[in-house]
């Protein structure tokens, strides 16, 4: 009895001693973790981070809308005051046979005066503006080129039209264009109004360009914030369930789909499949992509302030990474 007590006591003592030595020699230490600075950035702040840069590369799409709409080379700041002189701009833009200016000119087409004087008057300030801004402003460069092409047109056509004729012409156009109006519901009317607005905003040079980073007038790139895009992407990824058989040849089953969205964040009409293919596997893959797009409704991760950017979205469903590469 006593002997066993001694043995037990000794064994425990040895064990405790061993523990002391073993663990003290190699203390289990938690590796120090570096703290990560975390900042909260809202969606709007983020999009402001992507504001325009003057020396940004000039995207091709960017150039076109700017030239088309403004029709003169002035930088934005100088255009702004002219918004007040609406009649001048309109008659000017009504003369050339461009469709957009005509529709926008409708409301004030009744005002006949000053059709000829303006076009002549305008190019001059434009030239001035060019000289002033020539170096830094690429928009101006771009407009210059267009300017070079455009001025001849008004000069040719002006003699053909008397002011009254223009007015009549415009009235006819107006009549034509007003007919379909009753078809539209409230939403579409709203959309129409938005289309007209750019004529005034034209002066402030707003464009629908997603990549307008050329130091645009607003100072902000009109861009979907990364958080919105990420949310959209994450939602579609979670919903896309492509057939497993595509894993053998994922490159043959890429499906591009165009969706049109309303301001209620829901699809307008059916998604449009842009790629073509045949065979049951393409059909099944296409259907899986359409299904994902339908199920992702409502697309409320997109903010209404950028509606113009996401009213139409192209989505490429590419199964290359779905099955672990």
Partner 1 sequence: MRARGLTQFACVSRRDALVAGGAALASLLIAPWPAAAVTIDITQGNVQPMPIAIPDFLGGAPGDNETAQGVSQIIAANLKRSGLFAPIDPAAFLEKIANVDAVPRFPDWRTINAQALVTGRVTRQPDGRLKAEFRLWDVAAGQQLAGQQYFTTPDNWRRIAHIISDAIYERLTGEKGYFDSRVVFVDETGPAERRIKRLAIMDQDGANVRYLTRGDELVLTPRFSPSTQEITYMAYGAGDPRVYLLNIETGQREIVGNFPGMSFAPRFSPDGQRVAMSLQEGSNSNIFVMDLRSKAMTRLTDTAAIDTAPSYSPDGARLCFESDRGGRPQIYIMGASGGQAQRISFGDGSYSTPVWSPRGDYIAFTRQAGGKFAIGVMKPDGTGERVLTEGFHNEGPTFAPNGRVIMFFRDPGGTAGPSLYTIDIAGRNELREPTPSFASDPAWSPLLS
**Radius of gyration for the alpha carbons in the chain, expressed in angstroms and rounded:** 32
The token duo for 310 is 């996401």
Q: According to CB under 8 A, which one of 4, 28, 35, 276 is a site residue for partner 1?
A: 276
- Beta carbon nearer to partner 1, 218 or 275: 275
Please identify, among the stretches 86-94, 100-108, 135-143, 227-235, the one whose residues bind partner 1 according to the rule CB under 8 A. 227-235
Q: Which is nearer to partner 1, 104 or 223 (CB)?
A: 223
Q: Which of 258, 264, 300, 305 binds partner 1 (CB under 8 A)?
A: 258
Q: Is there binding between residue 299 and partner 1 (CB under 8 A)?
A: no
Distance in angstroms (rounded) separating the CA atoms of residues 21 and 98: 91
309 counts as binding partner 1 under rule CB under 8 A: yes
Asked if 229 touches partner 1 (CB under 8 A), the answer is yes
Number of residues near partner 1 (by CB under 8 A): 56
Cβ 50 to partner 1, closest distance in Å? 14
C-alpha span between 226 and 42 (Å, rounded): 11
Return the residue of 196, 272, 300, 304 that touches partner 1, per CB under 8 A.
272
b/e map of 32-55 (b: 16 or more CB within 10 Å)? eeeeeeeeeeebeeebeebebeee
**Is 216 among the residues that bind partner 1 (CB under 8 A)?**
no
Tell me the backbone φ, ψ of residue 273, rounded to 5 degrees: -85, 120
Using CB under 8 A, which of 55, 244, 263, 304 touches partner 1? 244
**CA angle at 291 for the pair 187 and 240, rounded to the nearest 5°:** 120
Site for partner 1 contains 214 (CB under 8 A): no
* By the rule CB under 8 A, 208 interacts with partner 1: yes
Residue 258's φ and ψ, nearest 5 degrees, are -105, 130
When asked if residue 44 is in the footprint of partner 1 (CB under 8 A), the reply is: no
Q: How many CB atoms lie within 10 A of CB 215?
A: 19
Q: Which stretch binds partner 1 (CB under 8 A): 74-82, 150-158, 189-197, 225-233?
A: 225-233
| Burial status of residue 217 (CB atoms within 10 A of its CB: 0-12, 13-18, 19 or more) | buried
Contact between residue 219 and residue 52 where contact means Cβ atoms under 8 Å apart: yes
Q: Which stretch binds partner 1 (CB under 8 A): 43-51, 145-153, 175-183, 306-314?
A: 306-314
Q: Binding residue for partner 1 (CB under 8 A) from 75, 240, 299, 301?
A: 240
300 in contact with partner 1 (CB under 8 A): no
Listed in sequence order, the DSSP H helices in the chain are 2-25, 43-49, 60-70, 76-82, 86-94, 99-105, 117-121, 123-133, 138-149, 152-157, 163-178, 186-201, 226-239, 280-295, 307-310
Q: Which residues bind partner 1 (CB under 8 A)?
A: 208, 210, 224, 229, 232-233, 236-246, 248, 258, 270, 272-276, 278-287, 290-292, 294-295, 308-323
């Amino acid at each position: 009895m006593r002997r066993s007590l001694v043995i037990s006591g000794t064994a425990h003592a040895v064990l405790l001693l061993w523990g002391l030595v073993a663990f003290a020699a190699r203390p289990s230490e938690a590796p120090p973790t570096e703290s990560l600075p975390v900042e909260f950035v809202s969606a709007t702040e983020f999009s402001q981070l992507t504001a325009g840069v003057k020396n940004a590369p000039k995207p091709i799409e960017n150039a076109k809308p700017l030239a088309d709409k403004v029709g003169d080379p002035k930088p934005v700041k100088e255009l702004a005051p002219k918004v007040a002189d609406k009649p001048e701009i309109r008659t000017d833009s009504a003369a050339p046979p461009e469709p957009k200016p005509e529709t926008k000119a409708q409301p004030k087409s009744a005002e006949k005066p000053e059709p000829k004087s303006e076009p002549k008057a305008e190019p001059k300030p434009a030239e001035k503006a060019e000289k002033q801004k020539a170096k830094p402003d690429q928009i101006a460069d771009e407009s210059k080129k267009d300017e070079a092409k455009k001025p001849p047109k008004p000069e040719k056509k002006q003699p053909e039209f008397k002011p009254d004729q223009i007015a009549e012409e415009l009235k006819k156009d107006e009549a034509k264009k007003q007919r379909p109006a009753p078809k539209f519901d409230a939403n579409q009317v709203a959309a129409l109004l938005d289309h007209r607005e750019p004529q005034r905003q034209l002066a402030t040079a707003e464009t629908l360009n997603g990549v307008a980073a050329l130091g645009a007038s607003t100072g902000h790139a009109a861009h979907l914030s990364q958080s919105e895009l990420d949310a959209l992407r994450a939602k579609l990824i979670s919903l896309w369930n492509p057939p497993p058989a595509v894993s053998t040849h994922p490159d043959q089953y890429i499906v591009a789909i165009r969706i049109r969205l309303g301001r209620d964040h829901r699809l307008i009409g059916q998604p449009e499949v842009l790629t073509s293919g045949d065979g049951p596997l393409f059909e099944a893959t296409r259907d899986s992509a359409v299904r994902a797009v339908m199920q992702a409704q409502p697309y409320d991760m997109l903010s209404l302030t950028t509606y113009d950017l996401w009213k139409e979205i192209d989505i490429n469903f590419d199964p290359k990474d779905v099955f672990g590469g």
